[in-house]
Structure 1
Amino acid sequence: MDEKKPIMASNSGNMNYNSAPQYPVQYPGGQPAPQQGGYPGAPPQGQYPGAPPQGQYAGAPPQGQYPGAPQGQYPGAPPQGQNPGGPPQGQYQGGPPQGVGPESVQPQWQGEMPDQDVDDNPNAVPSAPSAPPLEKMDTVPGYQDTGFAGAMLPPPSYEEATRPPPQRDEISNLPRIGEEEARQALLAFVAENCCYGKSAAENLKFRDLLHSSAFHYTLETYGEGRCTSWTFTPYSGQPIDGPQNGQAPGPWDIQAQPTKLFEDQKVEVEVPHTASVKPCHNCMAMGRIRCHRCHGRGRVRCSSCSGRGHKTVYRNGEYEQERCTWCHGDGRRRCMTCHGMGMITCVCCQGYCSLKCFIKLTITWTNHLQDHIVERTALPDHLVRNVQGQVAFQEQQFRVWPINHFPDAEINNASQSIVQQHASAFPSEKLLMQRHQVRIIPVLQALYKWKDTESDFYVYGFDRKVYAPNYPQQCCCGCSIL
């Protein structure tokens, strides 16, 4: 007999376990030997340890009764006493065949498997289950084109009511930064840089202060997108809301509201009256699949001796062959993932043999933000995006009108362009709300002289940030720049 091949059960039901010694007729202490096919501490023949009573699957309610339903009656449930797509009555779901205990190492996988034992890989993981065949899904009115890959649904059309443009006040009192504020801001900037000397900041002479303002316009459009897709979960007896309870509502008829406007959010809900119970396609309603670690053989090649059954050791000045203590000289070991059964619990149905299939509605709220910065000095535009400024104008409406009254024409033109873009930029979303604003950021360009050096620096924002790329003391004494 080739010991590398899986050991299969004979027609008589007796098992051979790698030429293992037979149990003695009588155990020490006068204990009688177990009956044929048993082992010490084995449960009564025909019963799996820890399994439910014969004829009842694991975790099931009393026979003929479903949770939350009148006794013996459940909408869309299978006939009384029968698990949808499950094994024959009296057989444990996903467990070993009747009469085989958990200590047995005989592979039970009868399908395709390698001819030789495979290398042991404790990090092996089962492959992700595929989706059930789409043609097996029920036809739901209004969702005929729904698949397992979600697709965005266009929102219902609506007519925007004619509305007059709002009345807006003139903008005035632009903020400014003084000379003393500029010097203190530069000193704070120098203190944050360990290699900068502060002598220049303390003794420089201002030649001129050029005041200006940067403008930051932002438009936010808050939209809602919806998509539907078929999905599935293990069916363990939970309630099934199927077509027998009514017609499924349309994807845009289901009520849902974001918890807060202008924040990205996402929720997933089950579309009412679309659920059904289907046999698991991944395990053919058996509850178990081929083990991914041993590929169904129940045994793996011993990783300690690489399947040889012995090791070469150096002892007393000579090399000797020593029997492998891990596999006891066999060259292979029992798979620790399936415990020698060659099968594991189905990763798709979790051993329940059936799936609950339903249409899932995914609702996504997205805040689309677009901005425009007007800054006409050498100060980089992106620096003013996140500093504090004065909110000179802010407006929130279902649909906003472009700004047309701002003192700077470039802001008015930018508002007109961005508002028009957002009006048609998100065709698959329902626009819920818009808001836009203009912030004014004070900018001071300080021209100065220190010793023989003439240069400038910038102070901007209410938090008095400094931009001084040409500061004359960027390396103090004793500091070297690598």
Structure 2
Amino acid sequence: MADPRMVGVQVQGQPQQQYGGYPQPSPQQSYGQQGQPGYPPQGQPGYPPQGQPGYPPQAQQGGYPAPGGTPPQVGFAPGQPPPEGYQQGGAPPAAAGPEPSAPSVDKMDSISGYEGVGFGSAPPLPPPSYEEAQRQPPERSSLPQLPGITEEDAREALGQYVAEQCCYGKSPAQELKFTDIVPSSAFHYTLETFAEGRSTAWAYEPFKGQPIDGPMNGPAPGPWDIQAQAPAMFQNFTQQVEVPHTASVKPCHTCLGLGRKPCHHCHATGTSHCHHCHGSGRTTVYEDGHHHHRCCTWCHGSGRRQCHQCHGLGQIPCPTCGAQGQLKCYIKLTIKWINHVEDHIVERTALPDELIRGVSGQVAFKEEYPRVWPINHFPEAEINNASQNLVQRHSTAYPTERLIMQRHQVRIIPVAEATYNWKDQPYNFFVYGFEHKVHAPDYPQKCCWGCNIL
């Protein structure tokens, strides 16, 4: 017994003959005619009743080329009126408007809980309200001590830095005399809020006989009632799913259910202008000191050639429905998991703050909870204030998203400012991070002598 959900599925029968890539109709069978194979029976859920706008004409023959004959100019059945907006034997009228980019929302089924949903992008949907459980601040341990940077570490780091730079002279790094090394610490606070946002919009795809889960199978669940699991915590990811019980089959809005559309390259005539003779049917050759006109061998003197887009048929398969003539319309739910990250750096020297983000340090503090408490025990008051401000802002900054998890941490990055003399002139540089990166903007020998730049 046939599956009742298979609305509009074409019955497999004997192999059809082919004509120019299109199936050739037999005298007993026409495509798109009521009661024939491939035509959905009237009254099925999701299909508009006969006579509604966008419904294919009952006796439409489909416009396929007749066996042994020439293809029609426009590709519509002889003796039948062409669809609205087209003229028999020619291109669409110049005054005709552009093709619709999506089916009309008025033709979509009314789905409870999804009123007002349209095609294209949609605003995010606010999550359902929930009550947070009473939380207690966790116990927090003391901070670790970091090892300092010695003169030997600073000299070695500067030598490695100079070796990686183009044209830097090595003499200052080898001959310098340290006058002082002042150690310090930079603090990097980071707050991450992992949240989930949802939005809905109508979508469509070519109907090729796939099962249709329509309203006849039950009411559609709400956008936030559909279960979905993030593939990984604190990583951005987007997932799109079909909302159950919202699908239906509709005629294609581009080809009006025909499965094909007039070729705009040749204006549905099947032929295009010959570019070799410029449409004159003749070419000019120079022989015996004179110009002679010859019949164009490309178009055989007609001035026109077979259209390479439609292969002379005057029509092309509809790209919207994949030449099926029908679309599966459904409500698409878009789920976005977003990791919102903000940070704050405390660094008291002249070292640029952005350099601190790219090096490693000691993680002095780290917590992960559905809702984190602001830090209030750190010896650096600026870090405590930054944590208080960021946690408070994240609690209200994303009203259309459901907060899943939060985590925050404080890294301590060692920094040392080294001052030295070279040729009786004072200079300085910074060594920072566990990698002993160097920042030396006033290195005295940035361009070695005898360097030729091609």
TM-score, normalization: structure 1? 0.79
Paired with 1:47 and 1:169, the residues of 2 have a C-alpha distance of 78
Question: Larger deviation: 220-229 or 318-327?
Answer: 318-327
Matches within 5 A, 1:169-208: 169-208=141-180
Report if aligned partners of 1:86, 1:354 keep a CA contact under 8 Å in 2.
Answer: no
Look up the match of 1:271: 243
Matches within 5 A, 1:453-472: 453-472=425-444
Partner of 1:432, secondary structure, is strand
Look up the match of 1:25: none
Report if aligned partners of 1:396, 1:434 keep a CA contact under 8 Å in 2.
Answer: yes
| Alpha carbons of structure 1 residues 310 and 90: separation in structure 2 relative to 1, 3 Å | closer
Code of the aligned partner of 1:416: Q
Match of 1:138 among 90, 101, 109: 109
Report if aligned partners of 1:241, 1:274 keep a CA contact under 8 Å in 2.
Answer: yes
Paired with 1:322 and 1:248, the residues of 2 have a C-alpha distance of 70
Paired with 2:129 and 2:361, the residues of 1 have a C-alpha distance of 39
Report if aligned partners of 2:47, 2:248 keep a CA contact under 8 Å in 1.
Answer: no
| Alpha carbons of structure 1 residues 222 and 141: separation in structure 2 relative to 1, 3 Å | same
Matches within 5 A, 1:83-482: 96-99=64-67, 104=71, 106-108=73-75, 111-112=86-87, 130-149=101-120, 150-480=122-452
| Alpha carbons of structure 1 residues 211 and 47: separation in structure 2 relative to 1, 3 Å | closer
Code of the aligned partner of 1:471: Y
Paired with 2:411 and 2:222, the residues of 1 have a C-alpha distance of 42
Instruction: Give the deviation of 1:295 after TM superposition.
Output: 2.1
Paired with 1:136 and 1:442, the residues of 2 have a C-alpha distance of 65
Partner of 1:201, secondary structure, is helix
1:3-62 Cα offsets, whole Å, 9 max, x none, are: xxxxxxxxxxxxxxxxxxxxxxxxxxxxxxxxxxxxxxxx9999997558764869xxx9
Report if aligned partners of 2:270, 2:310 keep a CA contact under 8 Å in 1.
Answer: yes
Paired with 1:45 and 1:477, the residues of 2 have a C-alpha distance of 79
The alignment-based identity, stated in percent, is 56
Code of the aligned partner of 2:284: T
Look up the match of 2:11: none
Structure 1 residue ranges without an equivalent (≥5)? 1-42, 67-71, 117-126
Structure 2 residue ranges without an equivalent (≥5)? 1-15, 49-53, 77-81, 92-97
Code of the aligned partner of 2:118: G
| Alpha carbons of structure 1 residues 456 and 390: separation in structure 2 relative to 1, 3 Å | same
1:387-438 Cα offsets, whole Å, 9 max, x none, are: 1111111100000011111111111111111111111111110000000011
Instruction: Give the deviation of 1:97 after TM superposition.
Output: 4.2
Paired with 2:353 and 2:20, the residues of 1 have a C-alpha distance of 77
Code of the aligned partner of 1:207: T
TM-score, normalization: structure 2? 0.84
| Alpha carbons of structure 1 residues 51 and 90: separation in structure 2 relative to 1, 3 Å | farther
1:425-452 Cα offsets, whole Å, 9 max, x none, are: 1111000000001111111100001112
Instruction: Give the deviation of 1:365 after TM superposition.
Output: 0.3
Look up the match of 1:121: none
Paired with 1:288 and 1:269, the residues of 2 have a C-alpha distance of 29
| Alpha carbons of structure 1 residues 55 and 78: separation in structure 2 relative to 1, 3 Å | farther
Code of the aligned partner of 1:99: P
Partner of 1:269, secondary structure, is strand
Aligned Cα RMSD in Å? 3.2
| Alpha carbons of structure 1 residues 394 and 226: separation in structure 2 relative to 1, 3 Å | same
Report if aligned partners of 1:113, 1:296 keep a CA contact under 8 Å in 2.
Answer: no
Paired with 1:309 and 1:44, the residues of 2 have a C-alpha distance of 35
Paired with 1:194 and 1:241, the residues of 2 have a C-alpha distance of 65
Partner of 1:152, secondary structure, is coil
Paired with 1:386 and 1:398, the residues of 2 have a C-alpha distance of 28
Paired with 1:419 and 1:187, the residues of 2 have a C-alpha distance of 42
Report if aligned partners of 1:55, 1:89 keep a CA contact under 8 Å in 2.
Answer: no
| Alpha carbons of structure 1 residues 177 and 56: separation in structure 2 relative to 1, 3 Å | farther
Paired with 1:334 and 1:421, the residues of 2 have a C-alpha distance of 66
Instruction: Give the deviation of 1:278 after TM superposition.
Output: 1.0
Question: Larger deviation: 262-271 or 468-477?
Answer: 468-477
| Alpha carbons of structure 1 residues 176 and 89: separation in structure 2 relative to 1, 3 Å | farther
Partner of 1:256, secondary structure, is coil
| Alpha carbons of structure 1 residues 420 and 113: separation in structure 2 relative to 1, 3 Å | farther
| Alpha carbons of structure 1 residues 220 and 256: separation in structure 2 relative to 1, 3 Å | same
Report if aligned partners of 2:364, 2:412 keep a CA contact under 8 Å in 1.
Answer: yes
1:443-473 Cα offsets, whole Å, 9 max, x none, are: 1100001112210001111111110111111
Instruction: Give the deviation of 1:95 after TM superposition.
Output: 6.3
Code of the aligned partner of 1:96: Y
Report if aligned partners of 2:419, 2:428 keep a CA contact under 8 Å in 1.
Answer: yes
